Amino acid sequence: MFRYISGRILIGIPILFLVITIVFFAFRLIPGDAARIIAGDEAPIERVEQIRRDLGLDRPAIVQYGAYLAGLARGDLGTSFSSRRPVATEIGSRYWNTFSLALAAITVATVVGVAMGVISALFRGRWADHLVTVAALLGISIPVFWLGLLLMQLFAVELGWLPAAGYGTWQHFVMPTITLSVFSIAFITRMTRSSLLETVQQDYVRTARAKGVRERLVLFMHSLRNALLPVTIVVGLRFGYMVGGAVITEEVFAWPGLGRLLILSVAQRDIPVVQGLLLVFATSFVVVNLLVDVLYAFLDPRIRHR
Amino acid sequence: MLRNLSKTIVGFARDHKLAAFGAVIVLLFVITGIFAGQLAPKDPNQVSVRDSLVPPNAEFPLGADNNGRDVLSRIIFGARISLYVSMTSVGLAAFVGVLLGIVAAWYRWLRAPIMRLMDVLLAFPGIVIALTIIAILGRGIENVILAIAIYQIPQFARLAHGLALSAQEQTYVEAAVAGGESDVAILSRYVFPNIVAPIIVQVSLLIPGAIMTAAGLSFIGLGVPPPTAEWGAMLQLSLTWGRLAPHMTIFPGLALMLVVFGFNVLGDGLRDALDPRLKGRG
């Protein structure tokens, strides 16, 4: 098990290193005078020069890259152009807001998605199955921001039950959590249903039935446990994406998280912050995948002995 | 030939009713996009202060926005932008991605560099990559197309790579190699035609994502610049005005959802028809 985990970690590190390298050089691809473009057309020449120095654009690219790596090793992600504060501080102060929202959303998505998938498979071909199937199709088709706007119109404007936007109490969590989880609910529902229907055809399930085990027991004890293995991977993948993918949900509900910071930084072309955010998103994705791999190996002994 | 084709289509529609429904929606969307100029009752950019925020009526079937512009006409012209952006971006992604995938499968020494690069792109949600490209290149419709294409390239590269790996093991490829045909000829005449069907399915499954991302970018103000009629941009306005005029929220979102739904069920149906083993898969 230890060998398996350390092997997985060793795969994640080169990916992160590639991300750092590619992102770094991608921002050197900005056509024309990068400092002028970042500063904007109306910016005074002093500011352009300052950005040029801050980015180190007056030095050779490879020297800049070395300096950036050295900074990263010290935990220094650079300084934001717009706020003049360290990027690490800007990101650190918002990380928890996004993480907690993503955690709430993936929890809801997993519970609801698995439940709906099981119901759907249990009543295969009957009205409950059709209802869930259509709901899941609508779930993957509904635009996130539209859903957010409709919820806001209904629960905040018409009924006045929930705050329209912002961050603070548990009530603030309700609408963003629903909005962020709907796509994943639909995704997990479809995955659970098909995985369960596939498992039911396996030999050991037939054996259990032949032994006379009750059908409900066959489904929950013998099939579900194995059917949920691929679902674990999907849940992990969705969660890994959510930390970076809450962009639009955060924008709709004015949620003070990393997604809004990304939008703001892209609009202002605050390159150090965008760079730092990409690194944080990639790290979250790699770490979550690592955890999923470990969990998977824990659940399925065949994998860690391979 | 033509009769066979129509027979196939009729058979497909009978076996996959939901997918056929999706195909009708997609067809209507394409027609609306192409003939927006003829179909729209009004000029989508015609500002009229007097008609600001009027609810649906005889003159404005779906109401007017805060600038008194006809919502119906803007939705119709929005279909054109959506169609253009999604087709070009997915087309570009498919071309580059399939090329990379096939090349990575054929030339062993290129496999690691290409596929690791794809892994890096897959470590980010699409919207984050798209925003990064916009940060590098700036705003504008061409950059939106490029941004969407870049995040979809790995989806095609991975699929094409896997398919090409097994296609190139076939005897007819071996025969072509033995016959001394050039690499370009082998890849384009023997490998590519044999992997094209799943790629077409992939195109239909990724178009809704492209439409949604394009609208999402406009919604956060970093996509197609105003005053172009675009569904996401219309919804952005409704963030401010939706309380006073719910029709500004409801109709553009409904159009967007309907089109995405159409592509999704069509893609599902095509995948099932192509590979019955995958039926019902998420």
Q: Which residues pair with B64 in a beta bridge?
A: B70
Residues of B in contact with A252 (CB under 8 A): 239
Give CA angle at B105 (A29, A283), nearest 5°.
Answer: 50
Residues of chain B neighbouring A22 (CB-CB closer than 8 A): 117, 120
What residues are paired with B70 via a beta bridge?
B64
State yes or no: pLDDT of A31 exceeds 70.
no
> Regarding predicted confidence, which is higher, A294 or A106?
A106
Residues of B within an 8 Å Cβ radius of A = 116-117, 119-120, 123-125, 127-128, 131-132, 134-138, 208, 212, 215-216, 219-222, 232, 235, 238-239, 242-243, 246, 249-250, 252-253, 256-257, 260-261, 264-265, 280-282
- Minimal Cβ distance to A30: which of B136, B222, B252: B136
The shortest CB-CB distance from B282 to any of A149, A190, A281 is to A190
Task: Output the pLDDT for position A32.
Answer: 64
Most A-contacting residue of B131, B137, B144, B257 (CB-CB within 10 A), to test interface: B131
Q: What is the CATH number of domain B20-45+57-278?
A: 1.10.3720.10
| The token pair that represents A190 in the structure block | 């479809």
Q: Name every chain A residue with its beta carbon within 8 A of the beta carbon of B245.
A: none
Nearest to A141 among B215, B260, B281 (CB): B260
- Residue B96 pLDDT > 90: yes
**Residue in A138, A146, A189 to test binding to B, most B beta-carbons within 10 Å:** A146
Chain A residues lying within 8 Å of B222, measured CB to CB: 263, 266-267
Task: Count Cβ neighbours within 10 Å for each residue of B211-230 and write b for 16 or more, e otherwise.
Answer: bbbbbbbbbbbbbbeeebbb
- HSE of B231 in the Cβ direction (CA atoms, 13 Å)? 30
Cβ atoms of B262 and A140 closer than 8 Å: no
Higher-pLDDT residue of A159 and B154 is B154
Mean pLDDT, rounded, of chain A: 84
User: Tens of pLDDT along A56-92?
Assistant: 777 777 888 888 888 888 888 888 888 888 999 999 9
Residue extents of the structural domains in chain B: 20-45+57-278
| Cα(A271)–Cα(A278) distance, integer angstroms | 11
Smallest CA–CA distance from A133 into chain B, residue: B280
Q: Are B147 and B134 within 8 A, CB to CB?
A: yes
CB contact under 8 A, A143 and B216: yes
Model pLDDT, residue B212: 93
Q: pTM for this one?
A: 0.87
**SS3 assignment, position B195:** coil
Residue A2 pLDDT grade (very low, low, confident, very high; cuts 50, 70, 90): confident
Between A222 and A257, where is the model more confident? A257
At residue A305 the predicted structure's pLDDT band, cuts being 50, 70 and 90, is low
Span A87-305 CATH architecture: Orthogonal Bundle (1.10)
B117 to A18: CB separation less than 8 angstroms, yes or no? yes
Number of Cβ atoms within 10 Å of the Cβ of A293:
22
Query: Domain ranges in chain A?
Result: 2-73, 87-305
Kindly list the residues from chain B whose CB atom is less than 8 angstroms away from the CB atom of residue A153: 242-243, 246, 249
Residue A163 sits at φ, ψ, to 5 deg, of -65, 140
> CB distance B238–A149 less than 8 Å?
yes
Q: Please report the pLDDT score of residue B281 as a whole number.
A: 42
Q: Round to whole Å and give the CA distance between B5 and B28.
A: 21
**Residue of chain A whose Cα is closest to the Cα of B260:** A141
> Who among B120, B132, B221 is closest to A15 (CB)?
B120
Q: Which residues of chain B neighbour A191 with C-beta distances below 8 Å? A: 282
Residue of A129, A103, A126 lying closest to A118 (CA atoms): A129
Q: How confident is the model at residue B279 (pLDDT cuts 50, 70, 90)?
A: very low
Euclidean distance between CA atoms B181 and B163, whole angstroms = 21
Q: How far is B203 from chain A (nearest CA, A)?
A: 16
pLDDT at B55: 85
CB contacts of B115 in chain A (<8 Å) are none
Tell me the C-alpha distance between A142 and B39, whole Å.
26
Chain A residues in contact with B253 by the CB 8 A cut-off are 143, 146, 149-150
Q: How far is A19 from chain B (nearest CA, A)?
A: 6
Residues contacting A212, CB < 8 A, separation 6+: none
Residue range A97-102: mean pLDDT, rounded: 93
pLDDT for A298 equals 79
Q: How confident is the model at residue B74 (pLDDT cuts 50, 70, 90)?
A: very high
A102-157 pLDDT, tens per residue?
999 999 999 999 999 999 988 888 898 899 989 999 999 999 989 999 998 888 88
Q: What is the ipTM of this complex?
A: 0.84
Measured between CA atoms, how close is A203 to chain B, in angstroms?
Answer: 18
Instruction: Read off the pLDDT of each residue in A280-302 and give the average, rounded to a whole number.
Output: 83
Question: Which residues of B are less than 8 Å from A143 in CB distance?
Answer: 212, 215-216, 235, 253, 256-257, 260
Q: Do the Cβ atoms of A145 and B216 come within 8 Å?
A: yes
Task: Tell me whether residues A27 and B253 touch, CB distance under 8 A.
Answer: no
- A301 preceded by cis ω (within 30°)? no
